[in-house]
Structure 1
């Protein structure tokens, strides 16, 4: 079961200094610490951390541990308590214990928050009561509290319960451990105080002060020092609190409304031996860390590079090897073009077949540079790093110069447009455009039938114009020879004009086919130029990667050495701090450090684990050991130097 130890600011310095002793039990979930603000009037203001600590708990208990300081006895207290019983406050000794009201005393207010507000107590008295049936007077117990007073008390109790309401489960038991002065100091203090003329109410201290029923009360003769770093008395007190926190006591062992005095049996010799062994072991580890750090710094100094050495050359030549491209397979031959679009064959069929062959040749041709480029990239990747053994150390100025050169190379690489080396997208668009223009030109040419019809029509039209002239010449008796010669000449001119027209249309088609072939020749030229471009581009990339890898390796070596040195120095500081703290523990308790019996013995220590997680900083002693107290009952003690814990009930007189 989780025990939440509730403390105030006065205990923070001690708990922080001795956190090593409490941390293992916190990590195991046996205890947790919660800060209490005495000025708080509800859970959120008085115990702001409590809800987060017990949110996942079904059952838990509270241990309120308060140690009084020596200076508090000499000062006038706002709410003084009895010297023998720190839970019995003087201001409540003569008050009416039956009244329900919010207490001004922080400790009682805290007790009611944790354990609940006690229900109202009604006053009864023995009296003579006349029986209504017989009229005889008989002795009986009579309720003296009026009904109106009962109603008012119930309202006050309900309001106070709502104010102290807690969202999570409340503790099953609430233990209070408060220190008190030693008997001699109590007697001296009592002699200085005047006797009270008024007797106290005939109630127990728990009822007078309105403590809840689940509260249990422990006290210990111990006084802390406000300005000390942790005296032996204060150490006794907190070891007693820790022992209480890790043990379960049944209801028959610790009764309600009773005060128990705690006696802790602590072996200072075992405590001294534990701290001495711990401090000596940390000292051995510290000496080992000093030697390793010194050796690391010496080796780093010996590896310093010579002055004014040249920067290493990380250039690596990468070649994209491929045979020169012959673009003739990509082009379309136009030597068999006729004067019409379907003579000697249909030109659309011829062109579609030729374009498909050219496209297949282009895709086949593109495989060669792709294969060569993949091989070159693989070769560049394999050689993009430098073997660590080939990388020599550079000083900070050389590293800065190399970083500047690599930055310039990186900028040049980003500014290079590798897609322009082989703009396939643009070439494919130009090819489709040239193909479309050739098809449009073929569509505008006449077929053989249309050419014949046009020639016959032209001949008929010419003859239609010649026949009237021939008839007129015969009728006039003129000679027909010159007329026939002129007709033949005109007819020849007409035939030549028709032939030239057909040749001009064929020339236009050949020009469009030539545009298509020019696009294909551009592709071949680009492929040949691409090899040279990518050879330089991959060489630049490979050189940059080799230089960057070498620089990163040099810097990582420097950083690794620095990080290793920093880790060692961090451990050295932590070891010094732990040793100083351990020595201060012994000095504050009047103990002397024992000699190291294992001086020179090596200790395993993992430098990579930080101090807050490294097991070497633990005390390395058994925890939660079972022992028997004087009554024969088993008790669990936190450490071997705690021999046992006894508590006995104190007789309190009303």
Structure 2
């Protein structure tokens, strides 16, 4: 069963030096702590974390601690000196209307367990009989009948009319007040199965013991403090006597008190050993032999660790670089454009004919080729992009791997590092890779060349047109020689022959001029296509040359990131040193207080100190862990299955630590004085 330990501020402050005893059991989920604001008048203001403590724990109980008797100054209701749970000045008489208690402890019990039902205040005479017609039992109060009605009932039922006593009913005013309190103290989860109150009190004085031993009990009865103070029925009451802080027994009694509370918290106590409506005194017996072994071992370890921590605090971190070391080595990021060399992007212009459609249709051929080349250009440009992306990813991975390391440098090394960072930063900012491969520019040039080639091809005449036009022109040209031939024929045969030869020669010259024109047109088309090849040549050279530029740029960026990581590592190292120093200081303080506490406990038990130096400190001390998470500061719990005795009845309970030998719950006889009859 889970146990919630509820503490007010006084108890929480008193537990501070002993809370380490409880931590292993908090970690295993056996117990939990809940702060208690005594001024609170409802669950939310009094114990705001109670639902969080019991979430997922349907079976639970609560231990409420009240150590107000140990406070220097107290305020509020005053409890009886013998019984810290009895508040004579705050009890609600049976004749009073139920009200919220002024006592924080009682008020808390109502919040957790509900307000107790109204007790029977008095009884009055009545009659019981079975109706002759319905055969049902009937109960009637005598006060509700007249004398004649009583007489008639006695005559009618005779021996079957039985006198009884009925409790006086609660008034409507009382019932209403009680309903309001129950509504106010409504609990949204399962209420605790058991509510154990544990309070401290001062030791009785010697004269009080003498007085009580001679005092007769004939005119006294067992104390009815539980019902008188309106505690719920599932409450149990335990007290513990602790001396004042100046007394030599104080530390021993305080230690045993908190160990006893812990032992009680991790065990389910049999009902026979912890009864309702009774007051019990809490105590324990410690095995001094086991306690001596434990404390000597702990003190030896803590004193050795204390010296170790002192030495660690004096140590200085070593420099990460020697004087001649390169602080920021160059981080090479290679960029390789693998794949095509670009030869397939060029267009063969040697097969261009003298006419547009000889040997093939030039326009159709060009459109098909330029379309394919554009696709190949996209593929060609995609490879460098992918190579750059891969290099970028590699750069990113390398840069991320730099960070996280710690570096220690002297003043001069830091100055050199800052200068190198400034140089690299300037290079990265002044050298951009955005224009190294201008794809848009090259594609625009190719589109321009494409349009020009198509225009030149359109101006290139077809074969049939060239033949027809050539023949017509030659025919017209020959017709121009007809008059010359006629004149030559008149002059004689030799003259006519010469004229024919001259005409044929002129015709040959004209034909040669036409053919030359066809070659010129073909040359213009080829030159237009060669412009495309020139653009491709420039693009391929530009892409291949940019690989080195990208490599240099990425190398500079990666080296810059390395330098930045070293700068960050210097800060990280500084923070790490500060953090380590903080943890070491925390250990020093915790060790000092723990040693003082354990020495005081050892002295209170009269334990002989046996000092030994522990050598293998790192086997049981982890300096990187804060004291609250460090096993050094906690006692080793008892993991054996062998229980320890509870009182003398043979019951066994679990011991939290090996030095706990016995748990004691002794009933205290409390009596209320009553007036004798005269």
Place the TM-score, normalised by the shorter chain, in its bin: 0.7 to 0.9
Q: How does 1:239-318 map to 2 (within 5 A)?
A: 239-266=259-286, 271=291, 274-291=294-311, 296-297=315-316, 300=318, 314=329
CA distance in 2, matches of 1:626, 1:58: 26
1:41-81 alpha-carbon deviations (Å, 9 max, x no partner): 11111111211101121110111121242667x98x64333
Task: Tell whether 2:202 aligns with 1:204.
Answer: no
Contact 1:220 1:237 in 2 (8 A): yes
RMSD of aligned residue pairs (Cα, Å): 5.5
Contact 1:272 1:592 in 2 (8 A): no
CA distance in 1, matches of 2:390, 2:259: 74
Structure 1, 561-570 or 277-286: larger mean CA deviation: 561-570
Contact 2:302 2:591 in 1 (8 A): yes
Paired residue for 2:186?
Answer: 165
Task: Tell whether 2:254 aligns with 1:234.
Answer: yes
Query: Which secondary structure state, in structure 2, belongs to the residue aligned with residue 69 of structure 1?
Result: helix
Contact 1:320 1:531 in 2 (8 A): yes
Contact 2:60 2:193 in 1 (8 A): yes
Task: Tell whether 2:530 aligns with 1:514.
Answer: yes
- With over 3 angstroms needed to count, the CA separation of the structure-2 counterparts of 1:215 and 1:459, relative to structure 1, is same
What is the TM-score normalised by the length of structure 2? 0.73
Counterpart pick for 1:637 among 655, 660, 663: 655
Paired residue for 1:599?
Answer: 613
Task: Tell whether 2:196 aligns with 1:178.
Answer: no
Counterpart pick for 2:427 among 401, 409, 412: 412
Query: Which secondary structure state, in structure 2, belongs to the residue aligned with residue 169 of structure 1?
Result: coil
CA distance in 2, matches of 1:141, 1:378: 97
Counterpart pick for 1:82 among 65, 72, 80: 80
Shift of 1:103: 2.1
Query: Which secondary structure state, in structure 1, belongs to the residue aligned with residue 57 of structure 2?
Result: coil
Q: How does 1:8-87 map to 2 (within 5 A)?
A: 8-69=8-69, 78-87=76-85
Q: How does 1:486-635 map to 2 (within 5 A)?
A: 505-527=521-543, 529-530=545-546, 533=549, 536-537=552-553, 540=556, 568=584, 570-583=586-599, 585=601, 590=604, 594-599=608-613, 601-603=615-617, 604=619, 605-620=621-636, 622=638, 626-628=643-645, 629-635=647-653
What is the TM-score normalised by the length of structure 1? 0.75
Shift of 1:214: 1.1
1:465-504 alpha-carbon deviations (Å, 9 max, x no partner): x99x99xx99xxxxxx9xx99x999999998997787566
Q: How does 1:78-227 map to 2 (within 5 A)?
A: 78-91=76-89, 95-96=93-94, 99-125=97-123, 127=125, 129=142, 130=150, 132-134=152-154, 140-143=163-166, 145=168, 149-184=170-205, 187=208, 204-223=224-243, 225=245
The total of aligned residue pairs comes to: 621
CA distance in 2, matches of 1:226, 1:211: 34
- With over 3 angstroms needed to count, the CA separation of the structure-2 counterparts of 1:179 and 1:311, relative to structure 1, is closer
Structure 2 stretches of 5 or more lacking a match? 127-141, 143-149, 213-218, 488-495
Query: Which secondary structure state, in structure 1, belongs to the residue aligned with residue 650 of structure 2?
Result: coil
- With over 3 angstroms needed to count, the CA separation of the structure-2 counterparts of 1:234 and 1:68, relative to structure 1, is farther
- With over 3 angstroms needed to count, the CA separation of the structure-2 counterparts of 1:501 and 1:186, relative to structure 1, is farther
- With over 3 angstroms needed to count, the CA separation of the structure-2 counterparts of 1:15 and 1:600, relative to structure 1, is closer
CA distance in 1, matches of 2:97, 2:221: 13
- With over 3 angstroms needed to count, the CA separation of the structure-2 counterparts of 1:141 and 1:568, relative to structure 1, is same
Query: Which secondary structure state, in structure 2, belongs to the residue aligned with residue 237 of structure 1?
Result: helix
Structure 1 stretches of 5 or more lacking a match? 192-198, 475-480
1:72-125 alpha-carbon deviations (Å, 9 max, x no partner): 7x98x6433333333222135682267433222222211111222111223333
Structure 1, 452-461 or 14-23: larger mean CA deviation: 452-461
CA distance in 2, matches of 1:342, 1:305: 78
